[in-house]
Structure 1
Amino acid sequence: MRIRDLSILVGIIGIVLMMVLPIPHQLLDILLIVNISAALMILLISMNTTDALNFSIFPTLLLITTLFRLALNISTTRLILRDGEAGRVVSTFGKFVAGGELAIGFVVFLILVVVQFIVITKGAERVSEVAARFTLDAMPGKQMSIDADLNAGMINEQQAKDRREKIEKEADFYGAMDGASKFVKGDAVASIIILLINLIGGFIIGMAVHGFDFSKALNTYSILTIGDGLVSQIPALLISTATGIIVTRAASEGNMAHDLSKQLLRYPNLLYIVAGTIAMLGIMTPIGFFATIPYAIILAIAAYRLQLNMKRKRVEEDLLVEEKEIEEVRSPESVISLLQVDPIEFEFGYGLIPLADTQQGGDLLDRIIMIRRQCALEMGLIVPVIRIRDNIQLKPNEYVIKMKGNLVARGELLLNHYLAMSPGFDDDSVTGIETKEPAFGLPALWIDEATKERAEMAGYTVVDPPSVVATHLTEVIKKYAHELLGRQETKALADSVKESHAALVEELIPGTLSIGELQKVLAKLLKEKISIRDLVTIFETLADYGKFTKDPEVLTEYVRQALSRQITQQYASPSEPLKVITVSPAIEKRIAEAVQQSDQGSYLALDPASSQSIYQRLSEQVSRVAQMGQQPIILTSPTIRMYMRQLLERTMQDIPVLSYSELEPNIEVQSVGVVNA
């Protein structure tokens, strides 16, 4: 056994023996000084501890010091009652505090006991109890947070293990503190009882055994009682204070001195108010000028010095930040940040800054939030964060929309104007600056406030500039939605479905289809403006047919047929027949015969002359139907729908191509054109 371990055991045994064996006066004086020194040391350590677990031995130490203090109380009580004295330390404390007046000594001692028992001990006990309860209640949430960080890859297994151990140690520590604080309370009660025993018992023994008269007995035993109480209560008070400090330290950045200086002196301007108040007390009350003004001046000087120090620190921090930024630019790793490409960017000239500046009444940010919500409801797509920035290289009233760093749309706005779109016939009384509506390319006019009411009465559609931008941005997102859906976004959608349909997702991914194959199917649906919000139906269909084919084109056709009710409601009106352009059997046969098979799937291999001929006739029918003011919709048989879509991919990608299997049986279909060979 090591000497250190042996000394601890001997010390504990010695404390127990102190309660039984008499101790000489000289040794008792040394032990009392050791008690005071240990209590002071514990208080100082608790003040300089940044984390309670750094002083995890404190609950055990609290019990040992309490036991030691009670053993000293018993030893001093024995000497007081037997010999009428208890050494120099006890006698000195009693005489010094009493100052020759027993009443003053008793009052001081009683105040000390009241503060110890009612204020500090009771408060420390309550704080320990609450801290233990809240620590235990917070354990499940902290464990879940650690598991989430581990699953997200933010921490490794060892870091997760260390965090769990720390949480367990915190719970054990505060639970032990809750129990140990009860010993502190019991020690305070025992001190009061021992005080009464010393006083009453000593007074009786002094007169009955030692033959003291009343005055001498009262004076001798009162001083010894006060001294003994102070010698035991002062260390108890220090340790109780240390207990409160340990359990009340929360969200600390440093030790107690650091936190006090940083947080109390964080607002130097308030010291000026305090200094002014103290000065007014000296001027307007009998306290006196000379008693308050020097202190007020000291406070004002301290506030001024603190302000100078804070300004100097801010300058130093700014310099450090600049140096760090320069170092980051010089370092090879700084180039990595330049490789990041934002999914969607909205850039505008300086003339359009009021659109995004909330202080100038701009609501563009709120509108973008609504656009993301609208896209989620209509398309089932979670639109990534849209980066908004001004660009001095653009014209003052110009804006551009970029997808993955590439320009996909642009437009111009006139603030303090309105965009008026013609109802189909022009009114000569409505005048303005000719332009084109950026989202759909319709002819329009920029009109001022005075012309707005006249244009609305004439049937024009009048919108403000923020609405123009919102509509344009929404249409661009819908047009390029398939490019915004990558594997990571698909994984997030699958995880959201898994929360309510775990069996479905587990069967589909990765056993039937991979994330990449699933992403291709969803992207093809979005490309043709088919909402993917009904992911459960989509996943059910893919789980059924993904066992037989991996071709995303074929799987997409199966999903479209499963979404027939949704597609029907998207294009058909319940009160009117669905007007479509049909394809003649001859053209369908020619397309079916031109289908070629490969390892990657099937594709359309029409010769250029046939492709041009079919495209020409389709274009004629589409133009004729558009001139009638109707939405051109092409209806084909299910076997050639996807190949007809491939034929029109580049030139007529906005024209819907449907098959008979994608329409509900009860829908009425009316042919308004036929594409003949």
Structure 2
Amino acid sequence: MNVKFLNNVVSVFVVLVIAFLIIPLGTGMLDFLLILNLALSLVILLITMYIKEPLEFSIYPSLLLITTLFRLVLNVSSTRAILSNSGYAGEVIKTFGQFVIGGNIVVGLVVFIIIVLVQFLVITKGSERVAEVSARFTLDAMPGKQMAIDADLNSGLIDENQARERRSKIQREADFFGSMDGASKFVKGDSIISIIVTLVNLIGGIGVGFLGGQGDIQTIINTYAIATVGNGLMSQIPALLISVATGMVVTRSASEANLNTDVIQQFMGQPTALMIAGAGLPFLAFIGFPPLQLFLMSAVLFALGFILLRRNRAALQTVEEGPAVIEEVTSEVNYYKNLNNVYDLLNVDPISVQVGYSLLPLVDEGSGGNFLDRVVMLRKQFADNMGMVIPSLRLSDSSELNPNQYQINLRGEALAVGEVLVDHYMGLAPNDILESDEIDGIETVDPAFGMPAKWISDDKRIKAEMAGYTLIDPTSVIITHLSEIVRVHAYELLTRQEVKRMVENLKKTNEDVVNDTIPSVISLNDLQRVLRGLLKEGIPIIDLEIILETLSDYSPTVKDNDMLIEYVRQALKRTITHRYSEAGQLKVLSLDSNIEDVIIKGLKKIEGGTYLNLPPDMIQKIMQRTKEEVDKVGKLVQTPIILTSPVVRIYFKRLLDQFYPNITVLSINDVDTNVQILALGNIGI
């Protein structure tokens, strides 16, 4: 069998069907295609009765278009044959027409009209309405279903792959019912065109027969009436089957079995209803109904209901006579019987975001929210800038938060909480704004940087922009806050597994440096510590090749990780300088030599490394002088930078972090030679 041909059989079929609009068909070929149309419609109807849910027959909207087009083409071909062959369009149409008319033209036409009206007014109209409502309800329910999936994911009932499959299924359901809403119009149009074609065949055929002298008027009417009714029924019977199939699809809810099984099980589950119906039927005999048929149907229903009722009671009694204690096992209990599923509860998300219910439109893609897309771009930007990939972010709603609140968690613990208004913009006023230009709004504070701001409503947006306000939409506020949290705590997110992945990625371009360094020179554990030390001070680790080469040079003789970090910083001095310099200048505060001498004298060496041991009063003096000098230059520089000698940098930075963690400390070796150092002050005792 030619598999390639089978792959293209539908395309070939559609092209041939369109060609048949122009190419005249012989009566033999027309008979075959009419039978094919009837068989195809019957198969489609049976398929719709055996599927468990609509998505199992997701091609149905497209199939509906193809079958409708096929019937229209057959209508055109049969009409051409009827009008050009003196009312003969093949044996199928002739046989069908003679069988239905049965010697009475009026009866045949009435039967045909009733079938058309039943299809058009009852089945097609109902299917169209159900498809329309299903499409609307499916779209409206998408946000709730998405959040339910997230809730199951957060509770551990499903994993990431299952959540992805469920989200995909929800999207496909929305697309399917939306397509069905439009595709059902094809069947409606087919019913209308069938009535028109019938009138054309009957009236046109009588006219052609009369003008062509094909016999007396009675013979002509009889000939073309048979052809018209036969052709109409051979078109409408398949159309009726397709209409019923459409109704089956759009009214089919998700189930564990097919329609036949469901009908039998659910009817058999209500034996009392069958018995009541059986007992009520005989009373219709008092108003003239035939008693034989009534009592026969009544006996069948009552007996069936009685048998089912006894069977259900016997089954219930068997259960009651079983074990004394019957434990009701819920789906949750069944799930956690698997020990691996219990271990899933021990997993901690590296980073997650929880939102109140008012913020759901911002994070739900079905409601037009682009939060997840923004997270993807944040991950790309952070990888470009820092050389580290932000791990997967877990997003969920929380009833414990206020409606407008969001919470950023790190390793399962709340790290930051913010509040945004969905229908407002956060406005940051310019420094030189006039009192007359101030915009009314809700006072707030920028959660990422702590700057005073206002929540400005959308109707005041243009006025605020003209006044010089910087407007930030709610999603950007959350993303900015998240990016700051990630930047500050990136070193905590760098796991050993991520370091291993980074090393494997470097292997693709420079396998030699990896094989020469890890694990013979430095272990993966020590490499992680070095990289974390760099990230903790905001130094990018994107040039992992240089970092490994530097560690390969110094690790054999230097066993102190702090000193290894300093050597790596020296190798990355061009990156560090570019990060903190402006227009070729590096504005700094210098650390006086007397403070450096105090720090050097206070260093204590132990087996695990070196630590700083200073008297509390000396620490207080140093910090006080540092604060005074930093405050002086606060208006000149955005990020204060203190320049020290290489020996004391790491220890002074650790001392400073206890009081002022946002101050950058560089050593002379961290600065590239082609930049100009501009000292704004000196920190001394």
Q: What TM-score results when the alignment is normalised by the length of structure 1?
A: 0.56
Query: In structure 1, what is the Cα distance between the partners aligned to 2:451 and 2:582?
Result: 25
Query: In structure 2, what is the Cα distance between the partners aligned to 1:420 and 1:314?
Result: 58
- 1:343 CA drift (Å): 0.8
Equivalent pair of 2:445/2:451 in contact (CA under 8 Å) = yes
Secondary structure, aligned partner of 1:288 = helix
Secondary structure, aligned partner of 1:477 = helix
Which residue in 1 is equivalent to 2:138?
A: none
Query: In structure 2, what is the Cα distance between the partners aligned to 1:519 and 1:310?
Result: 50
Which residue in 1 is equivalent to 2:406?
A: 399
- 1:284 CA drift (Å): 10
2:454 equivalent among 409, 429, 445: 445
- 1:521 CA drift (Å): 0.3
2:444 equivalent among 435, 439, 444: 435
> Once the two structures are superposed, what CA deviation does each residue of 1:555-602 show, in whole Å capped at 9, x if it has no partner?
100000011111111001125x32111111110000011111111111
Q: Does residue 636 of the first structure (1) align with residue 644 of the second (2)?
A: yes
Q: Percent identity?
A: 37
Query: In structure 2, what is the Cα distance between the partners aligned to 1:420 and 1:300?
Result: 57
Equivalent pair of 2:433/2:468 in contact (CA under 8 Å) = no
Give 1:668's aligned amino acid: Q
Tell me the matched-pair count. 419
> Once the two structures are superposed, what CA deviation does each residue of 1:22-67 show, in whole Å capped at 9, x if it has no partner?
xxxxxxxxxxxxxxxxxxxxxxxxxxxxxxxxxxxxxxxxxxxxxx
Equivalent pair of 1:594/1:605 in contact (CA under 8 Å) = yes
Which residue in 2 is equivalent to 1:338?
A: 345
Query: In structure 2, what is the Cα distance between the partners aligned to 1:268 and 1:446?
Result: 46
Equivalent pair of 1:591/1:606 in contact (CA under 8 Å) = yes
1:624 equivalent among 625, 632, 635: 632
Q: Does residue 409 of the first structure (1) align with residue 416 of the second (2)?
A: yes
- 1:481 CA drift (Å): 0.2
Query: In structure 2, what is the Cα distance between the partners aligned to 1:567 and 1:269?
Result: 58
Equivalent pair of 2:588/2:641 in contact (CA under 8 Å) = yes
Which residue in 2 is equivalent to 1:369?
A: 376
Q: Does residue 313 of the first structure (1) align with residue 321 of the second (2)?
A: no
Q: What TM-score results when the alignment is normalised by the length of structure 2?
A: 0.55
- 1:459 CA drift (Å): 2.9
Supply the RMSD in Å over aligned alpha carbons. 3.8
Distance 1:591 1:329, change over 3 A: same
Which residue in 2 is equivalent to 1:537?
A: 546
1:470 equivalent among 479, 483, 493: 479
Q: Which runs of 4+ in 1 moved over 6 A?
A: 268-284, 291-310, 314-317
Gaps of 5+ in 1: 1-122, 132-257
Distance 1:629 1:514, change over 3 A: closer
- 1:624 CA drift (Å): 2.0
Query: In structure 1, what is the Cα distance between the partners aligned to 2:91 and 2:487?
Result: 74
1:340-359 equivalent positions in 2, closer than 5 A: 340-359=347-366
Which residue in 2 is equivalent to 1:658?
A: 666
- 1:469 CA drift (Å): 1.3
1:114-513 equivalent positions in 2, closer than 5 A: 123=1, 267=57, 285-288=93-96, 311-313=255-257, 325-428=332-435, 429-513=438-522
Secondary structure, aligned partner of 1:512 = coil
Q: Larger Cα Rg: Structure 1 or Structure 2?
A: 1
> Once the two structures are superposed, what CA deviation does each residue of 1:221-280 show, in whole Å capped at 9, x if it has no partner?
xxxxxxxxxxxxxxxxxxxxxxxxxxxxxxxxxxxxx9xx989x9649969978996999
Equivalent pair of 1:517/1:550 in contact (CA under 8 Å) = no
Secondary structure, aligned partner of 2:345 = helix
> Larger deviation: 442-451 or 562-571?
442-451
Distance 1:270 1:407, change over 3 A: closer
Q: Does residue 547 of the first structure (1) align with residue 542 of the second (2)?
A: no
Equivalent pair of 1:268/1:304 in contact (CA under 8 Å) = no
Distance 1:365 1:298, change over 3 A: closer
Equivalent pair of 2:51/2:258 in contact (CA under 8 Å) = no
Which residue in 2 is equivalent to 1:116?
A: none
Query: In structure 2, what is the Cα distance between the partners aligned to 1:631 and 1:603?
Result: 27
Distance 1:304 1:127, change over 3 A: closer
1:504-583 equivalent positions in 2, closer than 5 A: 504-575=513-584, 577-583=585-591
Query: In structure 1, what is the Cα distance between the partners aligned to 2:58 and 2:384?
Result: 52
Distance 1:127 1:624, change over 3 A: same
- 1:610 CA drift (Å): 1.3
Give 2:558's aligned amino acid: T
Query: In structure 2, what is the Cα distance between the partners aligned to 1:561 and 1:342?
Result: 35
Secondary structure, aligned partner of 1:392 = coil
Query: In structure 1, what is the Cα distance between the partners aligned to 2:631 and 2:620?
Result: 16
Which residue in 2 is equivalent to 1:13?
A: none
Equivalent pair of 2:51/2:57 in contact (CA under 8 Å) = no
Equivalent pair of 1:268/1:303 in contact (CA under 8 Å) = no
Which residue in 1 is equivalent to 2:119?
A: none
2:594 equivalent among 586, 591, 594: 586
- 1:300 CA drift (Å): 9.2
Give 2:401's aligned amino acid: L
- 1:432 CA drift (Å): 1.1
- 1:664 CA drift (Å): 1.2
Distance 1:502 1:617, change over 3 A: same
- 1:335 CA drift (Å): 2.5
2:608 equivalent among 600, 607, 614: 600
1:648 equivalent among 643, 656, 677: 656
Equivalent pair of 2:644/2:665 in contact (CA under 8 Å) = yes
Query: In structure 2, what is the Cα distance between the partners aligned to 1:548 and 1:127?
Result: 67
Query: In structure 2, what is the Cα distance between the partners aligned to 1:445 and 1:662?
Result: 40
Distance 1:300 1:416, change over 3 A: closer
Equivalent pair of 1:580/1:632 in contact (CA under 8 Å) = yes
Equivalent pair of 1:513/1:550 in contact (CA under 8 Å) = no
Gaps of 5+ in 2: 8-46, 79-89, 101-232, 263-328
Equivalent pair of 1:625/1:631 in contact (CA under 8 Å) = no
Distance 1:295 1:336, change over 3 A: same
Distance 1:394 1:298, change over 3 A: closer
Secondary structure, aligned partner of 1:342 = coil
Give 1:612's aligned amino acid: Q
Query: In structure 2, what is the Cα distance between the partners aligned to 1:490 and 1:435?
Result: 40
Query: In structure 1, what is the Cα distance between the partners aligned to 2:466 and 2:425?
Result: 15
Distance 1:676 1:471, change over 3 A: same
Give 1:449's aligned amino acid: D
Query: In structure 1, what is the Cα distance between the partners aligned to 2:254 and 2:419?
Result: 47
- 1:301 CA drift (Å): 9.2
> Once the two structures are superposed, what CA deviation does each residue of 1:608-647 show, in whole Å capped at 9, x if it has no partner?
2211211111122122221445421010001100111111
- 1:366 CA drift (Å): 1.0
Secondary structure, aligned partner of 1:654 = coil
- 1:394 CA drift (Å): 0.6
Query: In structure 1, what is the Cα distance between the partners aligned to 2:562 and 2:454?
Result: 43
> Once the two structures are superposed, what CA deviation does each residue of 1:514-537 show, in whole Å capped at 9, x if it has no partner?
111000000010000000011111
- 1:491 CA drift (Å): 0.4
- 1:283 CA drift (Å): 13
Query: In structure 2, what is the Cα distance between the partners aligned to 1:411 and 1:580?
Result: 33
Query: In structure 2, what is the Cα distance between the partners aligned to 1:666 and 1:625?
Result: 24
Secondary structure, aligned partner of 1:313 = coil
Give 2:557's aligned amino acid: F
